[in-house]
A and B are shown apart, each in its own frame.
Chain A
Amino acid sequence: MAGALEPQAQVNSGSGWLILRDLVLAAVVVILIWLGLGILRSETMLSGLGPFVGKLVQALVALAVGVVGIWALFIVVNSLVEYLPARATNAIRPFVFVLPAIAVVSLYLVFPAVGTIIQSFTEVPEGEGLLYNYAQAFSDPKLLLALRNNAIWLVLAPAGALLIGLTFAGLVDRIKREALAKIFIFLPLCISGAGAAVIWRFVYEWRPPGRPQIGILNAIVTLFGGDPIPWLQEIPTNTLALVVVMIWLQAGFAMVILSAAIKGVPTELVEAARIDGAGEFQTFVRVVLPSIRGSMITVFTTIAIAVLKVFDIVYVTTNGNFDTDVIANRMFNEMFRFRNFGFATALAVILFLAVVPIMVVNVRNLRQQGIGV
Chain B
Amino acid sequence: MRNRTWLLVVVCLAVIVAACGDGGAGTTTAAPGTTAAPGTTAGSATTAAAGTTAATGEPTGYAELDQAMAGDFAGTTVEIVAQWVEGEAENFNASLDPFREATGIDVQYEGLTDYELTLQTRVDGNDAPDLAQIAQPGKMISYASEGQLVDISPWFNTDKLVEEQVGGFFELTQFDGGVYGVYYKTDVKSIVWYPVEPFEAAGYTIPTTWDEMTALSDQIIADGNGNPWCIGIESEAADGWVATDWIEDIVLRTAGVDFYNQWWKHEVPFNSPEVLAAAEEMASIWFAPDYVYGGNVAINATNIRDVANPMFDPAGPQCWFQKQAAWIPEFWPGNRDVSDRSQWANPPGEASSFFYLPGIDPAVGNPVLGAGDMFVMFTDGDRPEVRALLEYLATPQGAQAWIELGGFISPNTTVPVEWYTSYPNTELVPILNNADSFGFDASDLMPAEVGAGSFWTGMVDWVAANGEGTEEIFQSIEDGWPAG
**Interchain CA distance A321-B294 in the complex, whole Å:** 19
Residues of A within 8 A of B452 (CB): 337-338
A230 CA to B453 CA, complexed, in Å = 23
Given known contacts A55-B24, A208-B294, is B301 in contact with A233 (CB within 8 Å)?
Answer: yes
- Tell whether, in the assembled complex, residue B483 and residue A67 are in contact, meaning their CB atoms are under 8 Å apart: no
Q: How far is the CB of A332 from chain B (nearest CB, A)?
A: 9
- CB <8 Å contact, A63 and B31: no
Cβ-Cβ contact count across A and B, 8 Å cutoff: 79
Q: Separation in Å of the A243 CB from the closest CB of chain B?
A: 20
Return A264 CB to nearest CB of chain B, in Å. 33
Q: Quick check: A47 and B27 within 8 Å, CB to CB?
A: yes
When A47-B27, A233-B300, A319-B239 are in contact, do A208 and B295 touch as well, CB less than 8 Å? yes
Residues of B420-464 at the interface with A, using a CB-CB cut-off of 8 Å, are 447-449, 452-453, 457, 460-461, 464
B201 within 8 A of A: no
Q: Are B300 and A58 in contact (CB under 8 A)?
A: no
Q: Is the CB of B13 within 8 A of A63?
A: yes
A81 close to B (CB within 8 Å)? no
Interface-located stretch among B14-22, B179-187, B362-370? B14-22
Give A330-356 as 1s and 0s: 1 = Cβ < 8 Å from B's Cβ atoms: 000100011110000000000000000
- A51 at the binding interface (Cβ < 8 Å): yes
**Residue of B whose beta carbon sits closest to that of A62:** B16
Q: State the Cβ distance, B420 to closest chain A Cβ, in Å.
A: 36
Question: Is the C-beta of A125 less than 8 angstroms from some C-beta in chain B?
Answer: yes
**Residue of B whose beta carbon sits closest to that of A68:** B9
For A141, the closest partner residue in chain B by CB is B476
In the complex, whether B50 has a CB less than 8 A from a CB of chain A is no
B237 at the interface (CB under 8 A from A): yes
Is B255's beta carbon under 8 Å from chain A? no
Establish whether residues A321 and B460, one from each chain, have CB atoms under 8 Å apart when the complex forms: yes
Knowing A321-B460, A338-B453, the reply to whether A59 touches B16 (Cβ < 8 A) is yes
With A47-B30, A319-B237, A339-B448 known to touch, is A55 a contact of B297 (CB < 8 Å)? no
Residues on B with C-beta less than 8 A from A232 are 301
- Say whether A67 contacts B300, CB under 8 Å: no
B-chain residues with CB within 8 Å of residue A340 when the two chains form the complex: 449
Judge whether A58 and B30 touch: CB under 8 Å: no
Are A337 and B301 in contact (CB-based, < 8 A)? no
Which residues of chain B from 268 to 326 have any CB-CB distance to chain A below 8 Å in the complex? Answer: 293-295, 297-298, 300-301, 310
What is the CA–CA distance of A319 and B298 in the complex, to the nearest angstrom?
17
Asked if A337 and B20 make an inter-chain contact with CB atoms under 8 angstroms apart, the answer reads no
Which of B9, B236, B293, B453 sits near A337, CB closer than 8 Å? B453
**CB neighbours of B16 from chain A (8 A):** 59, 62-63, 66
Of all chain A residues, the one with the shortest Cβ separation from B301 is A206
> Is B154 part of the binding interface, using a Cβ–Cβ cutoff of 8 Å?
no
Most buried by A among B28, B293, B295: B28
Task: Report if A322 contacts B (CB, 8 A).
Answer: yes
B484 touches A (CB below 8 Å): yes
Q: With a CB–CB cut-off of 8 A, which chain B residues contact A339?
A: 448
A325 CA to B8 CA, complexed, in Å: 43
Contact indicator per residue, chain A 44-79, by CB within 8 Å of chain B (1) or not (0): 000100010011101100110011000000000000
Please measure, in the bound complex, the distance between the C-alpha atom of A342 and the C-alpha atom of B31, giving whole angstroms. Answer: 37
Residues of B within 8 Å of A58, CB to CB, are 20, 24
CB contacts under 8 Å to B, within A304-331, are 315-316, 319-322
CA distance A322 to B458 in the complex (A): 10
Given contacts A55-B17, A338-B449, contact A125 B236 (CB under 8 A): no
- Tell whether B7 is near chain A: CB-to-CB under 8 Å: no
Interface residue A43 (Cβ < 8 Å from any Cβ of B):
yes
CA–CA, A63 and B10, complex, Å: 10
B300: A residues at CB distance < 8 A: 230, 233, 321-322
Residue of A56, A66, A207, A339 with highest tally of chain B CB at under 10 A: A207
User: What is the CA–CA distance of A63 and B14 in the complex, to the nearest angstrom?
Assistant: 10
In the complex, what's the smallest C-beta–C-beta distance from A42 to chain B, in angstroms?
Answer: 9
Give Cα distance in the complex from A55 to B452, angstroms: 38
Bound complex: CA of A55 vs CA of B24, how far in Å? Answer: 7
Closest B residue by C-beta to A128: B483
Report if A333-B453 is in contact (Cβ < 8 Å); known contacts: A125-B483, A208-B295, A233-B464: yes
Given the contacts A59-B20, A66-B16, A208-B295, A230 and B301 also touching, CB distance less than 8 Å: yes
Contact of B12 with A63 in the complex, beta carbons under 8 Å: yes
- Tell me which of A66, A207, A319, A321 contacts B12 (CB under 8 A): A66
**B237 engages A315 (CB within 8 Å):** yes
- Chain A CB count within 10 A is highest, among B27, B293, B460, B483, for B27
Can you name the residue of chain A whose Cβ is closest to the Cβ of B236? A319
CB atoms of A59 and B17 under 8 A apart? yes
Known: A337-B453, A338-B449. Contact between A67 and B9, CB under 8 A? yes
CB contacts (< 8 Å) of A206 on chain B: these are 297-298, 301
Residue of B nearest to A315 (CB): B237
Please determine whether A322 and B460 come into contact, CB atoms closer than 8 angstroms. Answer: yes
Q: Which residues of B contact A319 (CB under 8 A)?
A: 236-237, 239
Chain B residues with CB below 8 A from A47, complex form: 27-28, 30
**A151-183 at interface with B (beta carbon < 8 Å):** none
B313 nearest CB neighbor, chain A only: A211
In chain B, positions 205-254 with a C-beta closer than 8 Å to chain A are 236-237, 239-240
| A51 in contact with B28 (CB, 8 Å) | yes
Contact of B457 among A207, A230, A233, A321 (CB under 8 A): A321
Q: How far is the CB of B458 from chain A (nearest CB, A)?
A: 10
Pick the residue among B31, B237, B297, B448 that contacts A338 (CB under 8 A).
Answer: B448
> Which of the listed residues B447, B448, B483 has the most CB atoms from chain A within 10 Å of its own CB?
B448
User: Which chain A positions have C-beta within 8 A of B17?
Assistant: 55-56, 59
Contact B20 A321 (CB under 8 A): no
A303 to B: closest C-beta gap in Å: 26
A322, B294: Cβ atoms under 8 Å?
no
Could you tell me if B13 and A322 are in contact, using CB atoms closer than 8 angstroms? no
Query: A232-252: contact bitstring with B at CB < 8 Å (1 yes, 0 no)?
Result: 110000000000000000000
Most buried by A among B300, B301, B449: B301
CB A317 to nearest CB in B, in angstroms, measures 10
Give every chain B residue within 8 A of A211 (Cβ-Cβ): 294, 310
Contacting pair A55 B301 (CB below 8 A): no
| Separation of A66 and B24 alpha carbons in the complex (Å) | 18
Q: Give the chain B neighbours of A59 by CB distance below 8 A.
A: 13, 16-17, 20
Known: A59-B16, A233-B300. A51 touches B24 (CB 8 A): yes
Q: How far is the CA of A340 from the CA of B448 in the complex (A)?
A: 10
Contacts A125-B483, A337-B453 supplied; 4 other A-B pairs, CB < 8 Å: A62-B19, A125-B484, A206-B298, A211-B294
Q: 7 A-B residue contacts at CB 8 Å?
A: A56-B17, A125-B483, A206-B301, A208-B295, A233-B300, A333-B453, A337-B453
Q: Which 10 A-B residue pairs are closest in the complex by CB-CB distance?
A: A208-B294, A62-B16, A338-B449, A321-B460, A59-B17, A338-B448, A206-B301, A43-B27, A58-B20, A230-B297
